[in-house]
Amino acid sequence: MKHSTVTRWVSIGLAGLLLAPLASQASSSLAVEMGCYNCHGAYPRGDAPSFERLSVRFEKRRGDAAAEQHAVEELLRGEPLQHIPAHEHLSPETAQRLIHWLVEGAK
């Protein structure tokens, strides 16, 4: 029993190592593609924070997978009084890549 638990964690760890470089790849072009810059660009629209400001705010989560995941869930869930379809219609995988990009400094 114990052995299989260890094996499982090791394979989860390995999968993480293999997926990490994928997650950080070309996410700024993904953000362009997904229309995020329409509201979060250098001249943000309405009360949308610029990605520059968001990445400063998200920096605290760097290296903390649970905190990063929490941000992904918040983005997908949306605000109770303010629906932003561009957020809520993201696939979990795309949302994860975009949040990871922000947490890593939005470069």
Residues in touch with ligand HEC (CB under 6 A) = 31, 34-36, 38-40, 45-48, 54, 71, 74-75, 79, 82, 84, 86-87, 90, 98, 102
Tokens, residue 48: 């949308």
**Helix axes of 92-103 and 65-77: crossing angle, nearest 10 degrees:** 130
Closer residue to ligand HEC (CB): 16 or 49 = 49
Closer residue to ligand HEC (CB): 68 or 87 = 87
Q: Which residue has the tokens 């649970």?
A: 66
68 alpha-carbon distance from chain centroid:
7
At residue 36, the 3 state secondary structure works out as coil
Q: How far is the CB of 17 from ligand HEC (least distance, A)?
A: 25
Q: Which residue has the tokens 């660009």?
A: 41
Closer residue to ligand HEC (CB): 34 or 68 = 34
Rounded CA separation 30/42 (Å): 17
Q: How far is the CB of 2 from ligand HEC (least distance, A)?
A: 39
Q: Quick one: DSSP state of residue 2?
A: H
Closer residue to ligand HEC (CB): 14 or 67 = 67
